[in-house]
Each structure stands twice: as structure tokens, then as C-alpha cells.
Amino acid sequence: MAEAGSFADKVKQQADIVRVVGEYVRLKKTGKDFSGLCPFHQEKTPSFTVSPIKQIFYCFGCGKGGDVYNFVMDMEKCEFPEAVKVVAEKCGIAIPRQKERSPEERKENQQRSVLVEMHREAQTFFVKQLEGTLEGKAARAYLEDRGLDKDAISRFGIGYAPSGGDALLSRLKPKYNDKLLVDSGLVSRDQSAGRLFDRFRRRITFPISNESGKIVAFGARALGDDMPKYLNSPETPIYSKSNVLYHMDRAKDALRRQDFAILVEGYMDAIAVARAGISNVVASCGTSLAEPQIKLLGRFTRRVIVNYDPDTAGQAATERSLSLLLERDFEVRVLALPPVGDKKADPDLFIRERGKDEYLKLLKEAPPYVDYLIARARQMDLTTGEGKQRALNFLLPYIQKIPNGIMRSEWATRIAQQLRIDEPLLRSALSKAAKERRSEITTRPELVGRAAKPVERRLIRMLAEAQGFRQELAKHLQNSRLYHGLETEKIFAALVIASLSGQPVQATEVGAVLEERDRRLLFEILFEEANEPTWEEAMSCIEALQHRQAEQELADVQRSIEANPSAPEMRGLLEKKQELMRRLAAAR
Ligand SMILES: [Zn+2]
């Protein structure tokens, strides 16, 4: 991937994988290598290994492995160019300015940065309106009433869009043409008269930032009874609702540190939770999570506590989000807040009324999603057979998403007990559902273990590392076709091709062309304790392989003889047998 002489290659030469990985994983020196707890799978004893000499990493537990870029790509869930940037930044290497590929692209980039600049200006404007105008004063009173003091207002950049209808417009108009103004989503166009006016009027504004902290949209709440109560920016070239999670830019560190996220519905909820000192909160800013949002979240944690509003829409949104999260293999818990007085409580109201300690306590006790779903199912009428069937139909799609069979079975028992459903009936429904789904499941690759014989492992290691005679050895192996038919054939083939090129072998690049099982085996071999290889050792490995090959052939010939073939064929087989036996005897 990192072509020789490219910027990526230069960065890789200078970067130290131990230092880069060390920013994410606590590493301990063990012999020549470093080891730690794998960041890609749950484990208690370290099987994650980093080699400073080879500049690669490998996890003996889950099989992830590669170079510094593979690590960053997996860790940050980003593409190669982004990983190069990340590593360069970590190592203090200046990144050359990227050349834009086409005039259109340049134009789009320009437009995007103008739109971001407009949002910055709008933000300054809204904040000033809240601070220094009469109308703003009323808005401040409302915010105060909601428990948002000066600190919170400035921390979350809360502002105010005045009622006039062209206050922001007149600010922006001298600098930007009409098309840009409309494209920004900050300004709307009257359909009939074609007149421009402010999109947000008489509303409290909440800046919505993208992942890197740039304001790309606004959410706005009506101050009076104007409808809709909440109005957001439309989709624009810099903002897509399904790509952004509110508060993500500030939650990143906490998400990584705490390794779980609290998912709430709106920005008021996220602000309330964050103000309670719980920074790992994000809001979907819509009724349900979208696929790209889940992907974004998954880059930081795979554990989520869903805390949506307890109303019907919130419940439906919870259940939709659950489905999506479970499909993506997230560990999900659900926090359904109890009512405050006679009011159904969203996180904002709950924390205001009952305090953050109470919220934290409930957060800690939030049940796994299955418990939540059982509780929901129990609200259905379970006195009739039909009702039970409905409850079962409600639960099954979720239960069948549990990847672990034992867990699934435990839950089946629990559901049967709690809903008083005949257990065999439930199990048969479950296994029917499981069969339908089996085709989609990719099984986890099993540990490779000692699949290859020591001789093969040794030769593979030499092909990868013996700078002195690698090419020579590759030629030898290719001519004799010695590795054909071996379990490790594909690894040999890939290494032989790489070695014949005369370039240094990059284990990660060889690994990239291999199937998962072979790739893992290659990495395991590379991390084995081994002595400096010598040409003599290589030759004796080759002899061993030749010997093994002859033995195999002999066994084949013997089988053919026992099948009692025609006389001429038998003659040929016997001759072949003699020759093989001579060869084997000579080798002893
Ligand atoms: Zn692992």
C-alpha cells in the first residue's frame, strides 16, 4: 500500500509502531517484542504483540495484524490516506498540501469551506443576539428556567435567532451570493415571491458540529409556541443528518476512555447529561439512528446505553435503534427512566428534577436490552394464546440477533419463564428463526494453531526475512515445485513471488493477498522465536520437504498397486516404487 518513495512510505520509515500503538494500548516489553491487551477483542491476558524490529503487530487471540497503518485504520476505523495523516501527525511529520484532482473537486472544496465560514459567522451572530439584545434577554430567561446558566450557554455555544426575518440575512448578504446563502441552509427562499429570509426566527440556536468540531448546522428550538418546536438545518453540502452525532466532537476522548456511549435523542438531553459530568454522551438528533451514525460511533466504542424518551415515538426509536446496533454487534443496554411525578422523563427533565447522582445510579443499573424487551413484551396481553404469540413475534427478531448460542439459549429459558410460554415451543420458533439467519453469519476464524509442519514454518520465515539468500531460496523452491500441495502452498506462492522481485518483503502486503486463515498463520510464524537463518539450514529444510514429497508419492503408488491395475500399468508402478525407495534410502 505504501508505495516505495511515496509520502506514506516515508512516514512509515520514520514512524515507530511501538510509539504509535503505545498511544492506544499499554505495552510491556517482553523479550524482543512488546505485548499488551488487544484493543480489538476482549481479553484478560495479553495476546497482542508488537515487533519493533519488523514494525508489525499481531494478535494471537483474534488474528488482527499488520503494519502501523493497518493498526491505525482498524483503530480509527478510517481509510488508508487518513491513516497516513494520523501517523504523520503523531510523529510530527509535515503533511504536504494535497493537490485537488479536478476543477469540480476544487470548486466543491471551496464551496464547502465557504459554507463552514458562513456557519462560523452565523454562530458569532447568534451568540451576540442572545447576549446583547432585548429579545435575547427573553431567551436567556427561558434558558435559565430550563436550568441552563451562563456557563452552560457559553460551553455549548447556545445562541438566539431574532424574530425579524432578515437579521442574519442582512449580515451575510454583502459577502455571499444568493445561491450560496440558500445552499447554506441558513437562509430560505420564499417559493412564490422568490424573496430570501432567515430560516431560523425567534428560536434558541444550538450549533451542531461535525466530528472534527467544525459547526456545520444548527438545531433551533422555538421560543414561543411556534411550530415546529424543533427545527434543524436542512441537508447541505456540509451537513447530512445521518452522518453527524451531536456532541461527538467533544465526546471522543471519553468514549475511548470509558468504552461506552450514552445515546440520547436531542441536543437538550445531550447537554443535560454532559453537564452532569458524563462526557461520553451523543445525540442522534432525530428519531432513530442511521447506519452512518452507527459506523461513526463504532469507531470509538461498541458498547451503548440507549436512553431515549419514554414516549411512544421514543420507544419505537429505541427498538429500531436496537435492531441496527445488534446487527452491527454492539453490546446494548437500555435505560428507561421512571416518570418524575406524573411526567414521563427525558434525560434533561430527569437530571433537573432528580439530580445527576440518581441518573448515574440508574445508568449503572441499566439492564441489557433483552430485559428491556421482555419488560416491553409483558405489557402486552399475555392471557390469550394470540397475545402470547404477538409477544413472541415481537421478541424473536431481537433474540435471534444474539450471536452467542449459549446466551441465546439462556434468554430463551428466561423469556419462557417470564412470559409463561411453553419452552419447547419457544425453542422451536427460535431455531427456525436461527436457520433463516445462519446464511448471513460469518463464523469467526478458528485459531490456526500448529497447522504447518516446522520445516514449512522455517522456510516461510526465511523467505520473509533472510535478506542474504531469500531470492536464491525462492528460485530453488519455484523450480522444484516443492511447496505444491502443502497446506501452506498459498503462503509460499505469495512469498516466492514477493522474494523473486528482489524488493524487501513487506509482511503486511503479502498478508493482504492471502485468505484470512493463511494470513494469520503467516503472522504467527513471523512472531515465533527463531535463530538467524543460514543457507545450510535452508537446504536441510528443502531436503526434508523432498523426503516428505517422496514418501507421499510412494504411498500413492502403493495405493495404485493395491488397486490391482492392468499388467503394463502395474509394471510402470513397480518401477516407480523401486525408484522412490532408492531415493528415500539414499537420503537416510
Ligand atoms: Zn485481538
Ligand 1 centroid vs 325 CA: distance in angstroms? 21
Ligand 1 centroid vs 46 CA: distance in angstroms? 9
Judged against a pLDDT cut of 50, whether residue 449 lies above it is answered with no
Ligand 1 centroid vs 206 CA: distance in angstroms? 40
Q: What is the mean pLDDT of residues 159-183?
A: 93
The amino acid sitting at 111 is Q
Do 209 and 239 touch, CB atoms closer than 8 A?
Answer: no
Ligand 1 centroid vs 330 CA: distance in angstroms? 17
Place of cell 433463516: 436
334-359 burial, b if ≥16 CB within 10 A, otherwise e? bbbbeeeeeebbbbbbbbbebebeeb
Ligand 1 centroid vs 40 CA: distance in angstroms? 5
The cell numbers describing 85, all together, are: 495523516
Most confident of 231-245, 379-393, 411-425: 231-245
Ligand 1 centroid vs 58 CA: distance in angstroms? 8
pTM: 0.60
What is the spatial distance between Cα 182 and Cα 190, in angstroms, rounded to a whole number?
Answer: 11
What is the SS3 assignment for 385?
Answer: helix
The amino acid sitting at 531 is N
Ligand 1 centroid vs 37 CA: distance in angstroms? 8
What is the spatial distance between Cα 263 and Cα 284, in angstroms, rounded to a whole number?
Answer: 7
Ligand 1 centroid vs 454 CA: distance in angstroms? 25
The cell numbers describing 576, all together, are: 516407480
Q: What is the mean pLDDT of residues 360-382?
A: 87
**Helix axes of 134-145 and 103-132: crossing angle, nearest 10 degrees:** 80
Q: Tell me, what's the pLDDT at 198?
A: 95
Ligand 1 centroid vs 35 CA: distance in angstroms? 11
Question: Model confidence at 93, in pLDDT bands (50, 70, 90)?
Answer: confident
Question: Model confidence at 440, in pLDDT bands (50, 70, 90)?
Answer: very low
pLDDT for 288-328, tens place per residue?
788 888 888 887 888 999 998 877 777 888 888 888 887 77
Q: What is the mean pLDDT of residues 20-47?
A: 87
Ligand 1 centroid vs 520 CA: distance in angstroms? 12
Question: Model confidence at 100, in pLDDT bands (50, 70, 90)?
Answer: low
Ligand 1 centroid vs 1 CA: distance in angstroms? 23
Ligand 1 centroid vs 60 CA: distance in angstroms? 7
Closest CA to 490 of 466, 467, 456, 449: 456
Ligand 1 centroid vs 301 CA: distance in angstroms? 15
Ligand 1 centroid vs 68 CA: distance in angstroms? 15
pLDDT for 474-520, tens place per residue?
998 888 888 888 888 889 999 998 888 877 778 788 888 888 888 88
Closest CA to 510 of 465, 479, 546: 465
Q: Tell me, what's the pLDDT at 196?
A: 92
Q: What is the average pLDDT score of the chain?
A: 85
Ligand 1 centroid vs 138 CA: distance in angstroms? 55
Q: Tell me, what's the pLDDT at 314?
A: 78
373-407 burial, b if ≥16 CB within 10 A, otherwise e? bbebbeeeebeeeeebeebbeebbebbbbbeeeee
Judged against a pLDDT cut of 70, whether residue 403 lies above it is answered with no
Q: Tell me, what's the pLDDT at 486?
A: 83
Ligand 1 centroid vs 202 CA: distance in angstroms? 53
Q: Tell me, what's the pLDDT at 438?
A: 45
Judged against a pLDDT cut of 80, whether residue 524 lies above it is answered with yes
Ligand 1 centroid vs 282 CA: distance in angstroms? 27
Question: Model confidence at 169, in pLDDT bands (50, 70, 90)?
Answer: very high
Ligand 1 centroid vs 542 CA: distance in angstroms? 34
Ligand 1 centroid vs 42 CA: distance in angstroms? 7
Q: Using alpha carbons only, what angle is made at residue 376 by residues 372 and 381, rounded to the nearest 5 degrees? A: 155
CA 394 to chain centre: 29
Question: Model confidence at 360, in pLDDT bands (50, 70, 90)?
Answer: very high
Q: Write out the DSSP string of 526-539.
A: HTS--PPP-HHHHH
Of all residues in the chain, the percent with pLDDT exceeding 70 is 93
Q: Write out the DSSP string of 423-443.
A: HHHHHHHHHHHHHHHHTTPPP
Q: Tell me, what's the pLDDT at 21?
A: 92
Sheet holding 159-161, edge to edge: 159-161, 203-209, 215-222, 230-232
Judged against a pLDDT cut of 70, whether residue 98 lies above it is answered with no
Of all residues in the chain, the percent with pLDDT exceeding 90 is 31
Question: Model confidence at 234, in pLDDT bands (50, 70, 90)?
Answer: very high
Ligand 1 centroid vs 43 CA: distance in angstroms? 8
Ligand 1 centroid vs 61 CA: distance in angstroms? 5
Q: Tell me, what's the pLDDT at 370?
A: 83
